[in-house]
Amino acid sequence: MTENTDIPVMLERDGDPKRTNPLAHVFDELVRFCRSRSLFMLHYCTGCGAIELPPAMTSRFDMERLGIQPMVTPRQADILLVTGYVSVKTLKRIILTYEQMSSPKYVVGICSCTVNGGMYWQSYATAKKLDEYLPVDLYIAGCMPRPEAVIEGMKKLMADIKSGKASNWQDYYRNYDYYLGNQQHLFGDNWQTPTDVVGEARNYALAGPGTTGEHTALLEQYQRPLEPITSHFRIGETVEPGDEQGDG
Amino acid sequence: MSKSIVKWLDNIIADVEGVGYQRKSDRRIRMDVASDTLPTLLELLRGRASYVHLSAITCVDWIEDDEFELVYHLWSYENNTLVSAHTRVPRSPGVYLSVYDIYHPAAFFERDIHEMFGLYFEGSPDMERFILTEWDGPPPMRKDFDAEGWVQRKFNFQDYHPEWLKQLEDEGGGVAIRPEEVRAKKRADKP
Amino acid sequence: MRPENYQAKNHPPSNEYELNFGPNHPGIEGNYALQLKLHGDQIVHARADGGYLHRGFEKLMEGRLWIQNIALVPRICVPDPAPMELCYSLAIEEIGGLEVPERAQWIRVMQLELSRISAHLFTFGGHAATTGMYSNMYWGVADRDIILDLFEELTGGRVYSIYNIPGGVRRDLPEGYLERVSNTMDYIESRLPDYDNLFFTNQVFVNRAKGAGVMDQEQALDWGVTGPNLRATGLAFDVRRDDPYLVYDQLEFDIPTEAAGDAWARTLVRRRELIESIRIVRQVVKALPDIGGPIRCPIPNPLAWTVPAGEAYARVESSKGETCYYVVSDGGDMPYRVHVRGPSSMHAVQVLENLVKGCRIEDVAQIMFSLDACPPEVDR
């Protein structure tokens, strides 16, 4: 792992920052109010629930009047909407995307498949319990939930953000070992992402006893600089049996 | 083509040895051939009888007979008839010839059958995995792959313990019949 | 972020680079990826990468009862679920020898055509959005919603209807339903001139779409293309007319074709099919009040229902192409094998890879939407 001592840290934090201004909580409330009214939703259609998202976003049910707008890049998005079931292949990309989003970030699990497997509970290819791999702030049940239900859910999320209750993104840093353990159980021991979550946890002063553990030790063991994705282009060549190339 | 030509083809193909022929309805024909004569039959159907559209290739796993059954569904735009050509391939070497040079759409189906059943097609242009690229288990569509056991091992479900259940358990009761145990027993009892 | 992963690598200057047109992209319909190799702005090579929506349907269906699979089956094609249910039911009816009453067949036709109209409206919206015309997307999605209201009234579900079962349909029409259907068809027809002005005759769109993703008839037949994509190359083939099922042989409708084979031709074919579908729905609405009778062939006990051993291959024309189901039964209460062949198995993989070669990067999304490639059908 990289040594975090050579990355300049902007301010020294020791637990909660000490606020001297008596109106600090007013400022916090204002920030939370504004944050809850201008959420950017990542436009990533991960499953079949995504078909009810255009009706919710467009003129008939109009989620934009609540301030929720689609955004194409995870770096500037606030909400990761997991619309429907997650297959194992998609789950890897969702975790990569989640780690690329900047805090504070919220995950909303739409459809019953994220809650407990839903209709595909017997399937070998879908993940059953989403909050084992990512911290989830809100579930909206349904198969599929109507656009009105999605908007109700978003309103509840906005109320939670405004009151400060929706802060599960901190849970990812505090209990990273638990989440990493579940991810490794599913993806294999050599699972790694480009993001240094433990370093970020230390930077945000959220690292706790649950951040490192046996699973992060395993991660360290398998750590290697990520190579660029192998090119799959073999123009004019044929593949022999037993010569399978995976993603590594 | 007029109807009389189609009936004439019926009689001709029904006479050929080694091809089991059955006309199921007005637009459906079933043919059973041995696995080594199937590519020749497909070439004849494509070149001489205008069956240019390969609709699908299906693989059925007959585990008691220890065979894979491959079904090639061909449609003719001129005769408006669908021919399903059935053939059987033994399970153990699990290799068969590809028909990519006769029908180009076969590449997708052969790739799919290879990753789902483990049956290799020689001569197909691309046998790399398409859907199950990060899968490390056995070919999942085989009948001896226990999907529910795999799910129990790899995934966890929510721990659903509501208030009323806790109350019942405090009084000494609880869940009498667990559905997952019933299913496991049903699976274990299956011959 | 780890610094060692974000160091610049020294490459000799060239115009070639690889791009992951990956799953998280607004230009991809659904959750699908294309790995592109570019030379400047032009695509030199493309490779499709699916499997992000894989649920293992075929394995799931082998573990559930015949009647339970009806709940699973519409989820295979998300924008246009009704043909999937119908195809499964047709295959079982063929194996089991069930006679579907006439009233159920006419209601099925109406449901299918309404589903086709809503799927085409959705595709127009998506296609317009890839060329930057977002108003059309809003219109398309909103008009599709009016049809989803009709579905909700008839079946209870906006998108996944779970309405067709082997033997018929589950519920009869509500009071005054046919009048509402007729009014909705009038409304959609009255909106079409607005769509024409904004989208179909818009010079911006015509210049973008003409010449994008050209396919001639020989190539289309060679690659196994079906549906509106094939009709856009000049071959007038429609499963409803040439391999008729339900009561399509009693209905009057034309098969629109175009000759150019590019994205513009495909869009025009879908636009004309929309009109033909409205025509079919009007004929059904006129004929239905005179057809009485049961809506379902009685199944003794759906939970313990066994279908005799056999196999059948059912074909249906969905809005995207030819959808086929091959069902094998061994006489039990669960299917032995169900093979689903969606039209996008050809369109999203082989055809997309070949058509995208040589075009510019901005046309990739447009070509994918004009082919109406639906990733859940490929991945099942």
Burial C224-234 (b: 16+ CB within 10 A, else e): bbbbbbbbbbe
Q: Confirm if A108 and A157 have CB atoms less than 8 A apart.
A: yes
The verdict on A65 touching C (C-beta cutoff 8 Å) is no
* Chain C contact probe: residue of B58, B59, B113 with most C CBs at under 10 A: B58
Q: Confirm if C18 and C35 have CB atoms less than 8 A apart.
A: yes
Mean pLDDT, residues C118-142: 89
Nearest by CB to B157, which of A89, A116, A188?
A116
Residues C168 and C199 placed together within one structural domain of the fold? yes
In CATH terms, the superfamily for domain B3-143 is NADH:ubiquinone oxidoreductase Nqo5 subunit (3.30.460.80)
What pLDDT, in 10s, does the model give residues C275-326?
Answer: 999 999 999 999 888 888 888 888 777 777 888 888 899 999 999 999 999 9
Per residue, the 3-state secondary structure of B43-55, as one string, reads HHHHHHCCCCEEE
Ordered by start, the domain boundaries in chain A are 24-166, 167-224
Q: Which chain C residue has its CA at the smallest distance from A43's CA? A: C26
The whole-number pLDDT of residue C117 equals 93
Report the residue count for chain B: 191
- Burial of B166 from C-beta contacts in 10 A (0-12 / 13-18 / 19+): exposed
- Burial of B22 from C-beta contacts in 10 A (0-12 / 13-18 / 19+): exposed
The verdict on A88 touching B (C-beta cutoff 8 Å) is yes
The whole-number pLDDT of residue A12 equals 45
Residues C116 and C36 placed together within one structural domain of the fold? no
The whole-number pLDDT of residue B59 equals 92
Mean pLDDT, residues B79-101: 88
Residues C9 and C95 placed together within one structural domain of the fold? no
Name the fold adopted by A24-166.
Answer: Rossmann fold (3.40.50)
Using a pLDDT cut of 70, give the percent of chain A over it: 82
**Residue C16, pLDDT above cutoff 90:** no
Beta strands in chain A, from DSSP E residues, in sequence order: 40-42, 69-71, 79-83, 86-87, 106-110, 126-127, 138-140
Nearest by CB to B148, which of A88, A122, A247?
A122
A vs C: CB pairs below 8 A: 116
The whole-number pLDDT of residue B3 equals 59
Residues C12 and C131 placed together within one structural domain of the fold? no
Are C223 and B104 a contacting pair at CB < 8 A? Answer: yes
Backbone phi and psi for residue C101, each to the nearest 5 degrees, phi listed first: -65, 160
The whole-number pLDDT of residue A226 equals 59
User: CATH number, domain at C175?
Assistant: 1.10.645.10
Residues C241 and C222 placed together within one structural domain of the fold? yes
Residues C14 and C110 placed together within one structural domain of the fold? no
Compare C348 and B188 and report the one with higher pLDDT: C348
Query: How far is B105 from chain A, CA to nearest CA, in Å?
Result: 17
The verdict on A235 touching B (C-beta cutoff 8 Å) is no
**Residue C186, pLDDT above cutoff 90:** yes
pLDDT band at A245 (very low <50, low <70, confident <90, very high): very low
Chains that touch A (3 or more CB pairs under 8 A): B, C
- CA B189 remoteness from chain centre: 25
The verdict on A22 touching B (C-beta cutoff 8 Å) is no
Q: Which chain A residue has its CA at the smallest distance from C4's CA? A: A225
Is residue A215 left, alpha or beta, with left meaning phi > 0 and alpha meaning psi from -120 to 50?
alpha
Q: Confirm if A59 and A107 have CB atoms less than 8 A apart.
A: no
Query: How far is A25 from chain B, CA to nearest CA, in Å?
Result: 37
- The strands making up A40-42's β-sheet, listed across from edge to edge, are A69-71, A40-42, A79-83, A106-110, A138-140
**Residue A9, pLDDT above cutoff 70:** no
Q: Confirm if C375 and C53 have CB atoms less than 8 A apart.
A: yes
Q: Among candidates C116, C50, C44, C278, which has minimal Cα distance to C184? A: C278
Cross-strand partners of C326: C313, C339
Helices C102-130, C82-96: axis angle to 10 degrees equals 150
Ordered by start, the domain boundaries in chain B are 3-143, 146-191
Reading the block at residue B159, the tokens are 């721990």
Residues C311 and C355 placed together within one structural domain of the fold? yes
Q: d(Cα C252, Cα B20) in Å, to the nearest integer?
A: 39
Residues C141 and C216 placed together within one structural domain of the fold? yes
- The strands making up B67-75's β-sheet, listed across from edge to edge, are B20-25, B28-32, B82-90, B67-75, B53-62
CB count, 10 Å around CB of A143? 17
Q: d(Cα B190, Cα C332) in Å, to the nearest integer?
A: 13
Cross-strand partners of A158: none
Whole-complex ipTM: 0.88
Which are the contacts of C315, defined by CB distance < 8 A and separation ≥ 6? B55, B82, C87, C239, C243, C245, C322, C323, C324
Q: Which of A196-205, B3-12, B88-97 has the highest mean pLDDT?
A: B88-97
Residues C158 and C300 placed together within one structural domain of the fold? yes
Q: Confirm if C213 and C370 have CB atoms less than 8 A apart.
A: yes
Mean pLDDT, residues C109-128: 91
Q: d(Cα C95, Cα A162) in Å, to the nearest integer?
A: 59
DSSP, collapsed to helix, strand or coil, labels residue C106 as helix
What pLDDT, in 10s, does the model give residues B155-165?
Answer: 888 877 788 88
Chain B residues within an 8 Å CB radius of A128: 151, 155-157
- Number of alpha carbons in the 13 Å side-chain half-sphere of residue C218: 0
Residues C150 and C204 placed together within one structural domain of the fold? yes
Are A185 and B157 a contacting pair at CB < 8 A? Answer: no
The whole-number pLDDT of residue B1 equals 46
My answer on whether omega of the bond before C346 falls inside 30° of 0, hence cis, is no
Query: How far is B130 from chain C, CA to nearest CA, in Å?
Result: 6
Compare C1 and C174 and report the one with higher pLDDT: C174
Residues C61 and C168 placed together within one structural domain of the fold? yes
Q: d(Cα C124, Cα C140) in Å, to the nearest integer?
A: 7
Report how many domains make up chain C. 2
**Residue A192, pLDDT above cutoff 90:** no
The whole-number pLDDT of residue A227 equals 62
Q: At CA B30, angle to CA B69 and CA C250, rounded to 5?
A: 125
Mean pLDDT, residues C113-129: 91
Compare B20 and B87 and report the one with higher pLDDT: B87
Are C31 and A48 a contacting pair at CB < 8 A? Answer: no
pLDDT band at B168 (very low <50, low <70, confident <90, very high): confident
Chain A residues within an 8 Å CB radius of C23: 44, 90, 93
Question: What's C92's DSSP letter?
Answer: H
CA dist B17 to A154, B24, B41, Å?
Answer: 68, 19, 12
Mean pLDDT, residues C67-93: 90
Q: d(Cα B122, Cα A240) in Å, to the nearest integer?
A: 9
- Number of alpha carbons in the 13 Å side-chain half-sphere of residue B42: 27
Question: What's C340's DSSP letter?
Answer: E
Residues C10 and C75 placed together within one structural domain of the fold? no
Q: d(Cα C78, Cα C29) in Å, to the nearest integer?
A: 11
The whole-number pLDDT of residue C285 equals 92
Listed range (B172-186, C321-335, C355-369) with the worst mean pLDDT: B172-186
Query: How far is B148 from chain C, CA to nearest CA, in Å?
Result: 10
Query: How far is C90 from chain A, CA to nearest CA, in Å?
Result: 23
What pLDDT, in 10s, does the model give residues A61-109?
Answer: 888 888 888 888 888 998 998 988 888 888 988 999 998 888 888 999 8
What pLDDT, in 10s, does the model give residues A151-173?
Answer: 999 999 999 888 888 788 888 88
Are B128 and A244 a contacting pair at CB < 8 A? Answer: yes
Average confidence score pLDDT of chain C:
88
| Chain A residues 211-240 within an 8 A CB cutoff of chain C | 225-226, 228-229, 231-233, 235
Using a pLDDT cut of 90, give the percent of chain C over it: 26
Are C18 and A45 a contacting pair at CB < 8 A? Answer: no
Domain that holds residue C44: 3-49
- The strands making up C322-329's β-sheet, listed across from edge to edge, are C310-317, C322-329, C337-341
Which are the contacts of A227, defined by CB distance < 8 A and separation ≥ 6? A248
Chains that touch C (3 or more CB pairs under 8 A): A, B
